[in-house]
Amino acid sequence: MKNKKVLCTILLSGTLFGACTAADPYAPSRTGTGTAGGAALGALLGQVIGQDTKGTLIGAGVGALAGLGWGAYKDHQTQELRNRLKNTDVTVSDEGNYINLNLPGGVTFPTNGYIIGRSFYGPLSDIASVLKQYPETRIQISGHTDNTGTYNYNMDLSFKRAESVANFLVRQGVPMSRISTMGYGPDRPIASNSTVSGRSRNRRVEVQIFPAY
């Protein structure tokens, strides 16, 4: 009962804060203030619900999304990912309504294999860290191949590679409930399969980050 009363107070405070902010249409923009206020409110809510540090961190992430909106929340994630992955082969791109991470197959997996190479543990760990830092997202992981070999073989390989990346992220603490996996084989090329460089680009895993709602 105590928690319910505190929760009502928090929600009322958030409502009043939003109302006061909107009351003055000529007030200067306070994006930073909204972020801090949303995160602080979310952190307090996390303590009420979870009564521990983990609950606080999750609540802060929820509050930040509520305070910023998806656009700014996405921009912060994109910049964090670029900072973490700038010296790797991972390409980070802002696709408007989602973030796309392109993991080249040539550096992520051995030829025709789906076991992640140890040299790629670092970049994937950095990705997992950012995903945990921004919990209000859902993650779609897709595997892709070139058109060399049989269609069924490529479909199976692409799915297994997507699953390998998903399992690695889960072991790093990203909840499986946020992740979905797909294997597209050669069906979604991003370059021509008629050249060596084109086939190399098509062999990849993509991690796409969407808003949770």
| Strand ranges for 68-136 from DSSP E | 91-94, 99-104
pLDDT bin (cut points 50, 70, 90) of residue 37 is: very low
Tens of pLDDT along 133-170? 999 999 999 999 999 999 999 999 999 999 999 999 99
Comparing 12-21, 120-129, 199-208, which segment has the lowest mean pLDDT? Answer: 12-21
Q: Is the pLDDT of residue 190 over 60?
A: yes
Amino acid at 197: S
pLDDT bin (cut points 50, 70, 90) of residue 211 is: very high
What is the percent of the chain with per-residue pLDDT over 90, rounded to a whole number? 64
CATH number for region 73-211: 3.30.1330.60
CA distances from 122 to 89, 118, 149 (A): 12, 8, 31
Comparing 27-36, 37-46, 140-149, 171-180, which segment has the lowest mean pLDDT? Answer: 27-36
Comparing 3-7, 81-85, 87-91, 180-184, which segment has the lowest mean pLDDT? Answer: 3-7
Tens of pLDDT along 92-112? 999 999 999 999 998 999 989
pLDDT for 156 equals 98
Amino acid at 133: Q
Q: What is the pTM of this model?
A: 0.71
Which tokens sit at 99? 């973030």
The residue extents of the domains of the chain are 2-68, 73-211
Average pLDDT, the chain: 79
Comparing 47-51, 59-63, 168-172, which segment has the lowest mean pLDDT? Answer: 47-51
What is the percent of the chain with per-residue pLDDT over 70, rounded to a whole number? 69
* Residues recorded for the chain: 213
Cα 192 to Cα 194: distance, rounded to the nearest angstrom: 5
pLDDT bin (cut points 50, 70, 90) of residue 171 is: very high
Amino acid at 186: P
